Amino acid sequence: MNNPQLQATLELLQQATQQLQDLLQNPVSEAHNREIISEVETQLTQALITLKTPTNPPNLDHVPPEILQQVKALGLPLENLDIQMALSSHHLSQIIGILTEIQNKSEQIRNRRDYFLARLPQMPIEKLGPRVPLVTAADFLPEYEPLPQDKREQLKVKYNIDKLIQKRQQSRSSLFEKIKQAESFMSSQTKPLENSPEFEDDLPF
């Protein structure tokens, strides 16, 4: 009977067993010993996950990478099959909700894994995205098609648009000129009286 799942599990267990046998036959330093034990633990965990993985393995495609990073940051064992199956079978809004809850109550939760697995199914499913639709200035603009160039030229000729623009520019220029003349006149009227001969004739000395 060809069973790839059992074959992969057996290979992992054999690798772990061989490492333990080598460790017994060839003693190493304490630091290296801890490193090998850690590798063996990882192999055994992977073997159990492979053995328990159902025909349809967990699919985490709907979970963004930053959410998976948050799962790890909160100390939840992502390599655990139960965690993977829970993430795979629940809505993203539920996952975000439970992670936020665990983060807010981190000091009150003793076993985060058990809390995650028990509380996740109870989290409400919510619509993701902004709750209030985003409104921009473009939403208030009228919907119209731009006027073709030939139509614009016809309207400019019909209503003498160019002449009106020219007249407005001339009117603005003449207004500035009048202002300048008025300022010049006011300046001439406010000259100091000391410079006037009439002022000298009126002096009593």
Domain map of the chain by residue range? 4-52, 65-122, 149-183
Rounded Cα distance between 84 and 102, Å, is: 17
**Burial readout 41-53 (b: 16 or more C-beta within 10 A, e: otherwise):** eebebbbebbeeb
**Burial readout 82-98 (b: 16 or more C-beta within 10 A, e: otherwise):** ebbbbbeebeeebbbbb
- CB 52, CB 81: distance < 8 Å: yes
pTM of the shown model: 0.42
Tens-binned pLDDT, residue by residue, of the chain (205 aa): 567 777 878 888 898 899 889 888 888 888 888 888 888 887 787 777 777 665 567 778 888 989 999 999 999 988 887 898 899 889 999 999 999 999 999 889 989 999 999 999 999 998 876 555 556 666 666 666 677 888 878 877 887 777 777 766 666 666 667 777 777 777 766 555 555 555 455 545 4
Rounded Cα distance between 44 and 14, Å, is: 10
Rounded Cα distance between 182 and 66, Å, is: 71
H-assigned helices in 57-128: 65-73, 81-88, 92-104, 112-119
Rounded Cα distance between 33 and 41, Å, is: 12
The number of angstroms, rounded, from the C-alpha of 119 to the middle of its chain's C-alpha atoms is 27
